[in-house]
Amino acid sequence: MTARETQLRRRLRCWTWLLIIGLVVSGVTALPLQTELEMMSRWFGAGELSPVQASSDFVKWILLVRDGLRETNAKFPFLAYGTDWLAFAHLVIAVAFVGALRHPVRNLWLFQFGMIVSVLIIPWALITGEVRGIPIYWRLIDCSFALGGFIPCWLCHRWTRELERMPRAA
């Protein structure tokens, strides 16, 4: 194995692990939403304030979502099952990238898939967020995940293509 091939394989492992870990963290953090929003409201010093008492539009949004989750989870806890499946989907996608971790050239398509999905985050967040009344600044935060997914996938795709073009040792 050449020094360049070793370097490419090391980079691929590192960045693919970054993707996997990011997907797992995104999935796991989709489960305790109410707890996370309770913590965020306290962190912003808004504790038990109502949204109308918020110091900024951002804090108002956090408090509004917190209160919405409180009420929904108290009356209709089964609705949280949707975010349970969202979390599961992130974990499933993370497992798929294990294939790219093991055999990047054979599983190049996963990096292509990751780039496509990352680009699709932007119209999805902007359109569905508008329909659901999500403030633009929050939709832009969601859109930032597109870069968080696209960049590692693009780098891995590029390095895998280079690896693919290298002559095979006999």
Report whether 12 contacts 166 (CB < 8 A). no
Residues in the chain: 170
Q: How far is CA 102 from CA 5, 8, 9, 53, in A?
A: 15, 13, 10, 52
Instruction: Break the chain into its structural domains and give their ranges.
Output: 3-165
**Residue ranges of the chain whose pLDDT lies below 50:** 170
Q: b vs e for 44-70, b when ≥16 Cβ sit within 10 Å of the residue's Cβ?
A: bebeeeebeebeeeebbbbbbbbeebe
User: How much is the pTM?
Assistant: 0.91
